Structure 1
């Protein structure tokens, strides 16, 4: 961890959703979407969060920006815990923490044109006149590669990539410090994905932004992230710098995710033996031991008896695996 206080510090985060209730309203079954997750994000860096669908990565991201109440834990922003704050107490922090989601069409109001969509966060958070807001929208559209004449158009008139650019302009309109990027490119055409990632990196440099970048695909996260956390069934199983994770993946799950990335070279044999075996178990099953053991080719007795802790196995490299402890 760096010497200065991280911008975001998550400690012991838990988010449980009630699934079944008894006749008397008591919760009888709980989905542990996020189960004791801790990490930090330094100012100006990108922390990537990766894992299969249903692993809890989006729930983690949305908890960090307090889109819903959490079950337990701390979410510190500049050292201040947001976890227990009411909506009224959160208001000054809202403009500093913004989000870009996977599907820009569902996050943009179809009845508002681009001028209204991008200026709305300014109306809420910034004290600007109407003409100042309009000038700022023109400036923001330029930053995301759109033209001034796009201002009067509506979301349905744009391509998916252009809509995501509008979402990004809207997210940076209130001068945030932190942006949650929740699978912002996975719904986009492959040819557009790299453009959007490059634009996010340019904006980060220009505006001094800090990102939590969530994806299920390790290959794209590698290019944008300083550090990466790998999630499996509500737990972080590995955290390391981007280079270290690719060069020396320690957790069998991370190794399997990396083996699944196709190599554009027909001479390289496909590592089928390293791919994931079996189905993703239900997050409802709590059980003892390592959650990954049912799909792990290296599982041994201890894996079924005690859950491994996330421990430092090399400087700045953490893994939750009995093979390394």
Structure 2
């Protein structure tokens, strides 16, 4: 079935390295390998979740995919077109189709602009609609995200955090994108508001046929919204699977440890559940040695783990893992 599904985004051997300044005692050019040889794809109309510890490269991968960062090497195919080497002018048609919802609903909105102006900016830049047509569209979008026409002339400080994030979502939707990067889009919100925003994103996806890359560290929320999930560790994707299968049958030791850390609301079940505690030394993202990056913290590490970097291999339908145990 999946062979017939159309891919909107394909990432092939993508790398994003950040050069760092070296001291007078260290020679050579050092880099942080934030994204290191990552390959995956996202189908049209699906939500692909991306999880991992803070600093693993999730947000960098998303922003490189959206060409907010220039990739070091590799390919990013958007609807079949390689966009990695396009200049700003050539990227313009793709900018319309790829939008982003930022993590912080406070700093991502200009405090000096009204709601109408915030949402109108991308419309004014990317469309040829008249001022009246743009206003009608803005009112329609506001209603879609649960706000009112009366909110048009208000400033961001007059809204709660959840309402501000709705304004950010409305801005992302304004030019009818196909793909939206949700970069920790709910992490700054209260738990009750998170559920409302997630449900709204799902409704909008169904109504507008949107495709999401949902970057988050809240594993329970990612399970709820995602069709498939990728697990990142120090710049690498170590496992990809359908959402339910990943939670029911995690294969990589790092994935198993992550999922075992999810809080269990039932105290009796929590007491009887087995916890996989990650121990050991976290490798430096600068001086990466060959071999598996998780081996210094893995209870199942073998000699081959220090000799060869494991590659993603398919172990089941839509289930891939990068581990020498498989």
TM-score, normalised relative to structure 2: 0.96
SS at match of 1:95: helix
1:308 is aligned to 310
**Mapping of residues 46-195 of structure 1, within 5 Å:** 46-195=47-196
How far the C-alpha of 1:316 sits from its partner, in A, is: 1.3
Matches of 1:246 and 1:63 in 2, distance apart? 27
In structure 2, what is the Cα distance between the partners aligned to 1:137 and 1:299?
Answer: 55
Give the total of aligned pairs: 322
Q: Which moved more, 1:101-110 or 1:91-100?
A: 101-110
SS in 2 for 1:152: coil
- C-alpha distance 201-70 of structure 1, shift in aligned 2 (>3 A): same
How far apart are residue 65 of structure 1 and its match?
0.8
Query: How many Å apart are 1:306 and its aligned residue?
Result: 1.4
In structure 2, the residue matched to 1:285 is: 287
The residue that corresponds to 1:318 in the other structure is: 320
Give, in angstroms, the shift of residue 156 of structure 1.
1.2
- 2:300 paired residue number: 298
Structure 1 position 295, deviation (Å): 1.1
> CA offsets per residue over residues 74-99 of structure 1, 9 Å max, x none?
11011000000000100111010000
Paired with 1:106 and 1:144, the residues of 2 have a C-alpha distance of: 20
Q: Deviations over 1:20-59 (max 9, x none)?
A: 2578xx9611000000001100100000010111100100
Assess if the C-alpha contact under 8 Å between 2:261 and 2:275 holds in 1.
no
CA distance in 2, matches of 1:219, 1:279: 27
Deviations 1:172-214 (A, max 9, x none): 0000000000000011111110000000000000000000000
Q: CA deviation at 1:279?
A: 5.0
Counterpart in the other structure of 1:14 = 15
8 A Cα contact 2:104 2:188, kept in partner: yes
Whether the aligned pair in 2 keeps the contact of 1:19 and 1:27 (CA below 8 Å) is no
In structure 2, relative to structure 1, the CA distance for the partners of 1:27 and 1:171 (3 Å cut) is: farther
Contact 1:5 1:79 in 2 (8 A): no
TM (norm. structure 1) is: 0.96
Gaps of 5+ in 2: none
